[in-house]
Each structure stands twice: as C-alpha cells, then as structure tokens.
Amino acid sequence: MSYIDGFVIAVPSGNKTRFSEHATKGDSVFIDLGAVRVVECWGDDVPDGKMTDFRKAVQATEDETVVFSWIEWPDKATRDAAHAKMSEWMQNPEKADPRMDPQKNPMPFDGKRLIMGGFSPLVELGKKGD
C-alpha cells in the first residue's frame, strides 16, 4: 500500500509564481527518488475556525496563502530510502542534487512554519489518479 508525506505551509501570496517554480524543480527530485506523484495545492477556500484551522496551524498572516501538499510513495520503504538520501545530502551538501540547493532553488516561504508528517493510508475509495 502507498505511503503519504503531507505538508501544510504558509506562503506569501505574492510568491505564488516563485512557489510554483520552486516546487516544480524540487518536487522533481522526489519523483526521481521513487515518488509516484507530488501534489501542491494553493489555498482557495480555507475558512477560519473557532478553535483551530489550517491558517492558525502555520501562523499564516493576512498576506499569506495556505498551501496543502502531499507526496505519494509506492510504499514506506521507498519513502524512507528517499529521506535517507536527502539526509545524506544535508550531511554532504557538495553531493546533493542541485535542485535541492537552497542557493539555486531558495524556498519562497518560511520553512520554520512548515508542518509535515508521514501517513499510512487507512481508507482509500475511488479510482487512482493519473
């Protein structure tokens, strides 16, 4: 069964194009490392909640848009191998894939407010997307 890495990020709304370019370049690394697909979703209908919500979770300001993203891996072993490779690159930046180089592909958002986690699907209904 597949394995999912999920992300929620606050991105300055004026950086939508920069974010798209950054994601296209960086996400291609995940595909090369075995991901089945990567989906980046620009917030369109993200309501404020009474107790909690996506905006509060990432401390989004008025001039930021919430981005919800996920990486679908064929299995947890492939995901773990990809994470190990990226961790290795962090230890040896000279060996890192240049698409992941923050000098060449800077993050157009505050990475300290990124929320991420790995998830095992529990229920899957419908057809697989292309």
pLDDT in tens, the chain (130 residues): 899 999 999 999 999 999 999 999 999 999 999 999 999 999 999 999 999 999 999 999 999 999 999 999 999 999 999 999 988 887 887 777 777 767 777 778 888 999 999 999 999 898 766 5
What confidence score (pLDDT) does residue 60 get?
96
**Alpha-carbon gap, residue 114 to 30, rounded angstroms:** 17
Q: Which domains does the chain have, with CATH numbers?
A: 3-119 (3.30.70.100)
> For position 9, what pLDDT does the model report?
97
Look up the pTM and report it: 0.88
DSSP, collapsed to helix, strand or coil, labels residue 16 as helix
- Residue 109's nearest CA partner among 35, 51, 52, 43 is 43
pLDDT of the residue at 99: 78
